[in-house]
A and B are shown apart, each in its own frame.
Chain A
């Protein structure tokens, strides 16, 4: 058997009640089994929307400059039943089909975004939404 067309998708939205000194990083994966047939990854894409403000927690404090990526790190791992065979790792974004891969038994989409920490003289106010997806096709070899 082969799974046919598959979509894997994960989204994380973080809402904070108040200013914080550290914004936790995002690390998440979503995965599904394949039938070790012929796999082509058709698209890897991600989206991020966020607002970040760094505030002085008291008077006469110089607020640190901060630079935030507009993207999240998204990659797709195709793993095999034979653990001696290294996984194939494909980075997003990609909107063209990958070379065909034979024998993949697991598709895993990994999404990462940075955490941030400031000292007690400053605070971070933020909201963050990120989401990624992969489309892949598994056909009989």
Chain B
């Protein structure tokens, strides 16, 4: 045999099973085996024939084989005389299922690295500071208890005696004057009573 017969753990397991079950019943001819086992064997034969009829072998000539054998990568070389569709589909399936795993992994790593790099740069990117509009009045927070009051601010608080200072509105209308008089009279009367 030109090929080496491997001595693998599978072979060792088979040998152990062979030794375990190598009794007289096993070593007898098939005709002496239980009928169920023979039926299983017949079913295996029928299934094999059915599968072979469903998926027949593609024709290859000796020249095809020699062409493939002389190619650098025999498993992916296209033989002459074979239509391209079946061959390419098989090559693609092999690329996806077998050898393609590495390429898919590499492509996934590349995509993740690209997205990661882009995201990192986006997060590190400093947003520009918006310019201050010089025309807008500057808003200054002022502590009213400690901050000095400028004359301009004093104007906003109103003149002495105004509503902002005294809590009374400017009494100018006749009705308001009458009301003030009534209040003062009442106040005076109360003061006289308390005395």
A, B from the same assembly: no
Q: Residues on B close to A: CB < 8 A?
A: none
**Chain A residues in contact with chain B, CB under 8 A?**
none
